[in-house]
Amino acid sequence: ITMFQAIAISALAASAAADYTSASPQSLKMMFESFKTQFKAKYSTMEEEMTRFQNFKENLKLIHERNVAERKAGGSASHGITRFADLTHSEFAGKYLGYVKSENTNATVADVKPYTGSESLVDWTGVYTTPVKDQGYCGSCWAFAASEQIESDAMRTLGVTFELSPQQLVECDRSSMGCNGGLQERAYSYVQRAGGIEQETDYPYTSGADGSEGTCSSDKSKFVLTVSDYTTIKDETSMAAYVKSTGPVSIAIDASTWSTYTGGIMTECGTQINHAVQAVGVDDSAGGYWKVRNSWGTSWGESGFIRLAYGKDMCGITTDVTYVEAKKV
C-alpha cells in the first residue's frame, strides 16, 4: 500500500469511526481492502470474506461507540482499526483472552512500604523487561504473563536475562488449560513442581499459529530458572508503591474493549477479568496512568503497550497482582 493510499484510508477510517452511518459503501469496501492488506488477512471462500466484511462493519460501529464513551469520560484513549477488526467479540475473547480466575492461589500477601521517592513516573521497560511478545491465536496470555514476571524478577534480583518459554507452560502445566486459558499462580506452581523452565530458544512458541497444543517435551537439563515463592499485592496504592520502588508485577484485567485500542490513556473499561498481562510502570500524579505490557505484538496499541488511568482500579487492575522469588537452576 502506498503512502498516499495509507493517508487516504486513514482519513476514511477516522471518518467512519466518527460517524459510521455517513460512510459510503465504497468507502467501507476500501477500508476493508486496506485492512486485509495491512494485516495480511486471507479468506478461503467468498462466503467467509462476506462474513468478515460484515464483522468489520460492526467493529466500526464499536470503534465509534468506544471513542464516544472515552470522550464523555474525559479520557484520551483512541480506538481504531486493529488486527482484530474482522472478528466477532466471541472469537476475539475465545482466542486472545484466557485468564481463568481461581480463589485458591495460596499467595503470600505483601507488606508494601509507602514509596518515599520524589518521582511521579517510574517505567521499568527495557530495565527489568524483555521485548514485547505475541501470543497469537491462542488464549495463552496467562503463560506469557507468568513467564514474563519470572523473567523480570530474575533480572531484578539475580542480574540475569532470559527469555523464557511460554510454550512449556502451555503444553506442560496441566493445572491450566493451554490455549483455553489459565492462571499465573498455577504456572508459578508448575515451574516450582517441575523444577524449572526452559528458554524460548530451547522450547519455542508454536501454539500461536493455529491455537493447537502439542505434547509436553520439557528437558530438565535445559531449565534455567525456577520459582521458590510468589506474593500478591492487594490494593492500588500498595501496588503503585511496589512498582515505583521495586519493579514490574503480573496482573489480571478486563481486556474486552482492548480489541480496538490504538493509543492514549484508557478511562472506560469493564471489570469482567479475562486477560493476564504485566504492569511495567506507573505515573501516580493527577491524570496519571499505569503502563501495561500486553502480549499481542508490537503492532497493537502503543508499540505493544497500553496506558490505563491511575487511581480508579481501571479494568480491575488490582484483581490479581503478583511477583515471584526467582532462583537459578
Catalytic residue numbers, as ranges: 141, 275, 294
Grid coordinates of 95 = 482466542
Q: For residue 283, give the DSSP letter.
A: E
Cell numbers 477479568: residue:
273
Pair 261, 306: CB distance under 8 Å: yes
Query: Residue 20, SS3?
Result: helix
Cell numbers 466500526: residue:
60
List all residues 6 or more positions away from 294 whose beta carbon is below 8 Å from its beta carbon.
132, 255, 258, 277, 300, 301, 304, 305, 306
User: Residue 251 to residues 149, 248, 262: CA-CA distances in angstroms?
Assistant: 10, 10, 21
Grid coordinates of 135 = 501470543
Q: For residue 266, give the DSSP letter.
A: E
d(CA 143, CA 149): 10
Q: How many residues does the chain have?
A: 329
Pair 233, 320: CB distance under 8 Å: no
Pair 147, 165: CB distance under 8 Å: yes
d(CA 272, CA 250): 17
Grid coordinates of 282 = 506507573
Amino acid 218 reads: S
Grid coordinates of 300 = 497493537
Cell numbers 504492569: residue:
279
